Copies of this chain bind each other. A is one copy, B any other.
C-alpha cells in the first residue's frame, strides 16, 4: 500500500537515518533532500525508495560517509571533481555549483566527476544551474555491471540507460529535460515483471537477439537487452548513448569495461547565455519559444502540448500540497534500518 506523507517529514527522517549510519549532518541533508525532491517531482523511482538502498550502501561501504571532495581545476574553464565515493548527490551538486561559478567567470565550463556514486535524478543538477541563469547539459553513464542496453544492431548489452539532461532558464519555470537514451529505463521493465505484465513492442530483445514482450526474457538468465531509443532509427539512440559513455567514462580516464568502478560518471557542460545576449532578452525569447511550442494544436485525445519539465513542476506543486507517496515496503525497510541503527522511528 502507498500513503501520502508531508515531504518535510520524510526528508527529516532520511537525514536522521543517514546521520545514524555515520554520515555528516550536511551531506545527509543534501542526500535526503535530493531524493525527496525526486519524489516531489513525480520521479518516484529516484525518490524515497532509494533511502533504504543508500543505507545499504553506507552499511557495505559502497557509499563512503564524510568523503572528501577534491577539485582539480584543470584549466580556466574545466575541472575534475573527485567525489571520493561519497553520496552521489553531494558530489554532483558540488560539480554543478563549480560549473556555474566557472561559467559565470568564463561564460562556459566543462566539469567531469570521478568516483561519484549514484547521483539520482540527473535533471536536479541542471535545474539548479538554470535557477542560476545558466544553460546546463548533463550526461551520466553507468559502469559495466549496468550495461543492459544494446548497441544498435547488436544483441549483447554494452551501455547503461545513459540519461541526458538539460535545463534552460525562461521567464517562468525553467525547461528541464531528463531522459534515458534507451527506449525505456530498466526500472519500467522490472515494474512490468513484478506486475506480471508484458512490455510494449520494441523495448527488449531476449538473449538470442529476438524481439520479445516478456520481461522475464530480458532478465534471463541468460540476460537479454534493452533497445536504444529510436526503434528503426535506433542508431540515433545508440549514438547518444555512446556519447554519454564517452563523456562519463573515457573522458575521466576510465575504461568502459573497468570492473572497479561503482556509481555514475557525470559530465556537466554549462553555458552562460549572457555570453551572447542579455539574460532578460534571453528569458523573453525563451518565453516566446515555449509559447510557440504550446500553441500547436494538441493531437487527438490530448489536452495540450507540454514542454520538458512542465509536468514535473505541476506534480511538484500538487505534491507540496498533498504529500509524497511512500509505499509500505519502503517504510518497512526504513524502519528496519532505524532498528538496526538504534534510532527512533515514528509510528506511522
Contact = CB atoms under 8 A, between A and B. Distances in A.
Nearest to A208: B300
Given A78-B108, A158-B296, A308 B249 contact: no
A193 B251 CA distance: 44
23 contacts: A77-B77, A150-B296, A151-B296, A152-B305, A153-B299, A154-B305, A156-B297, A166-B239, A177-B239, A179-B239, A183-B233, A184-B233, A200-B232, A205-B299, A229-B229, A240-B240, A250-B289, A251-B276, A251-B277, A252-B277, A255-B285, A255-B288, A256-B288
A302 B152 CA distance: 11
A128 interface: no
A329 interface: no
Contacts of A295: 156, 158
Contact of A77 (B106, B246, B277, B288): B106
A290 B277 CA distance: 39
A78 B285 contact: no
B308 A253 contact: no
A229 B230 contact: yes
A237 B239 CA distance: 13
Interface stretch (A89-97, A267-275, A313-321): A267-275
Given A151-B293, A177-B239, A209 B300 contact: yes
A236 interface: yes
A348 interface: no
A236 B229 contact: yes
A306 interface: yes
Nearest to A106: B77
B243 A75 contact: no
Interface string A236-268: 111110110111011111111100000000000
A223 interface: no
A204 interface: no
Nearest to A281: B253
Interface in A83-128: 106-110, 112
B156 A296 contact: yes
Ordered nearest first, which 4 A-B pairs have the shortest CB separation? Answer: A154-B296, A177-B239, A75-B107, A156-B296
A13 interface: no
Contact of A271 (B110, B282, B293): B110
